[in-house]
Structure formats: C-alpha cells, structure tokens
Amino acid sequence: MSKSITPVSSKAQFDKLVKETPYVVVDFYADWCGPCKQIAPLFQQLSETAAEIESVKFLKVDTEANSDVAAAHQVTALPTFMVFKNGKVLEKIQGADPRKLQSVVQRLAAEVLAGGGASGGASSSGSGSGSGGVWKGAELPRGYQDITDQIESKGCELLNADDDAGSVRVLFDGSKPSALDKTEGVKDWVESGEDDQLLLFMPFQAMLKLHTLHITSLPPSDDDDEDAPMRPRTIHLYTNKPHNLDFAEADDTPPTQRD
C-alpha cells in the first residue's frame, strides 16, 4: 500500500485519526469487491497528490476486518468514500464514481491550501466563499447544496461564444473570478460572438431540480470603452434534451422559465 495511505487496523485508531486530523479521506473497501479494486488506483493517485499537505490524511478501511468501523458510519455499499472535516462528515460517496471522488478531493485540497493548510493548519473560508473551497458570490439558500459536480462538463456546449474569451468549462470553475481582483491574463469569462446571445447546453449526471443559478457579471467601469460587452439581461431556461438546441429551435420553443 502507498505510503500516502494509512491502513486502519482498529476502531480506536480510526477514531483517533479522524479526531486529530483536520481533514480525513476514507476508502471503505473489501478484497472481494471488484469496483473497489477498479477505483483503488485513483484513490492512491489522489492521496499521493495531497501527500505534502500535513492536515490531510487518506485512510483505507477493510470492512471485513473492521466491521465495527463500517457499522458505526453506516457503510452499506462498497466502495464508500467519506470525507471528514474536524471530526464531522463533510461528504459521503457510495459506489465507484471516479469523477465525483476526484472532484470532492480537488475541492478539499483547494480549501486546505487556500487556508494555509499545506503546513498543517486549516481555516474556514471568508465571506463570499463556500464549503469545499469553491468560490461563491452569495451563500446557498438554506436546505440546498451546490451541484456543480453533477454537471457532465465534457458534454457541455456554448453556442455563439467568442473564441477570444474562455471556453465553456470556465463557467463551472470553482475559482474566484479574476475580474474581482482585477487580474489580467486569465480568460475565465465567456462572451458572445457575432450577436448578443449565448446558448448553453448543460447535461447533468442525474435528474435534478434547480433552485438557483449563480452568474457573476461586473458593471462597466468609468474607463471602459464604448464597445464594452453588455451584461446579461434576459435568461431563458429550457428542459434538457439529449442534444443542444440551435437558436431557431430555441426561438420556437417556449422556455420553462424566463428571468
């Protein structure tokens, strides 16, 4: 087993590590579990990537040898991955979902590094940021959660986008927009091309209901030229289809919501 992963041999050891380590990522597995073996190399790779971060530990729990640990944390499917922050469960992933596991660990690492956690300490985010190190311009409504990691980014399309701006993927990046810090050279925005319309196709990994869309747009400054891009004014939402609409189809299709 990789040196970056700590094998758990008892409940006392597990409880001690979770209590004393700011961030803990746990892989609950069994030797007979095929999906566990398939995703194990990714878990090892992620642990090695975060090996320099002292405030993060990666653990592996053999559920056959440590059934008391599995029972205490209601592990009913294998593999199950759990992320603990300051002793409390932050995330729980059931099943071999490499994309979600990677996304969760990347957000965790970003949060730790943003708080200076590479030297062992972790701090909470300030105003305008959310859990998992993902920047948010406003707090989530009570009872709702960020579902950015449920977007199939490879299937996303943005029609009529200006090639000189960023790609469609920047829309789902968790970093703080560079314009807020007046940072130049980072193409982390999108802009329409020939006319003032954009058409975004955004498939999800599961059936979801959206409550809030978060769009960051800055007003023009006094020194902006007359050709400064217009800010979004009208947004049409459509029911997802297997493929993106074109602009003609969108014009002929009543939106489910208009803002």
Residues labelled as active-site residues: 33, 36
Q: Which residue has the tokens 């040196």?
A: 3
Is the distance from CB of 99 to CB of 113 less than 8 angstroms?
no
Is the distance from CB of 66 to CB of 10 less than 8 angstroms?
yes
- Kind plus residue range of the DSSP H or E element containing 67: helix 67-72
Q: How many CB atoms lie within 10 A of CB 69?
A: 23
Angstrom CA distances, 242 to 58, 70, 256, stand at 38, 39, 17
- Kind plus residue range of the DSSP H or E element containing 62: strand 56-62
Distance CA 184, CA 151 (A): 28
Is the distance from CB of 145 to CB of 91 less than 8 angstroms?
no
Q: How many CB atoms lie within 10 A of CB 242?
A: 7
